[in-house]
Amino acid sequence: MHRPSFENGNLKCVFVGDSIVGKTSLIVAYTTNGFCERYTPTAFDNYSVSVTVDNKPIKIELCDTAGQSEFDSLRLLSYNEANVFLLCFNVMSQSSFQSIIHKWLPEIRSLSSDIPIILVGTQSDLRHNLGKILELKRYGQNPVDLKLIRKFVEQNNLEFIECSALTQHNLKEVFDLAILNALQQKKKKYLPEKQKTPTTFKESFRKLVTMTRKLI
């Protein structure tokens, strides 16, 4: 797997997860301020946005990957030169979260152990939707428990955020978090060792960074 490069002012964010969890909807909502209501299977799609971080322009490549097993080889190619991974699951789907645990995180960690990973819970607007909750209960299911998610996140040293492409709740925050994690990985290389503790660095770095976005 090729190592990520920052010299050209670009960042690559790769979205990974089961089919129909809402990866495409997140990207479309962020890049167009719209919502993709009809599901279209993805093989491999690229989107681009331009952001300004501390008055410096950065082009962000957003890679939307396929969750189907028949696209495994193509998906792995998209991991090359990734600066951050976003592992997506549907908060109303236990199976999509189990896939994160047993498939997606092991797949990424087997290729790289030091590229930042964000765990993204999609469709958060449905977590408190009574109709959807009752529908799940008819099949003996429940929304993915937040305590279980937080335990998994802590055990695997991940960032976590829930969002909704439909309502755009936490939508911008997902992408800001991904960009900051990718940039902070670069900045760490230039800090003295005593300043590289994750909490101290993360807090100080986020205070210094201001970000604006332009669609391209």
Alpha-carbon distance of 55 to 209, in angstroms, equals 10
Burial of 170 (0-12, 13-18, 19+ CB in 10 A): middle
C-alpha closest to that of 202 among 185, 190, 189: 185
Q: What is the pLDDT of residue 146?
A: 97
C-alpha closest to that of 124 among 177, 167, 159: 167
Sign of CA dihedral 125, 129, 132, 137: positive
Q: What is the pLDDT of residue 40?
A: 61
Per residue in 26-50, pLDDT tens? 999 999 887 766 656 565 688 889 8
Q: What is the pLDDT of residue 134?
A: 97
Q: What is the pLDDT of residue 122?
A: 98
Thinking of the domain 10-215, which architecture would CATH place it in? 3-Layer(aba) Sandwich (3.40)
C-alpha closest to that of 178 among 80, 58, 73: 58
Q: What is the pTM of this model?
A: 0.82
Q: What is the pLDDT of residue 21?
A: 94
Q: What is the pLDDT of residue 208?
A: 46
Alpha-carbon distance of 180 to 168, in angstroms, equals 19
Q: What is the pLDDT of residue 32?
A: 87
Intervals of the chain under pLDDT 50: 5-6, 189, 199-201, 204-205, 207-209, 215-216
Q: What is the pLDDT of residue 202?
A: 52
The SS3 call for residue 139 is coil
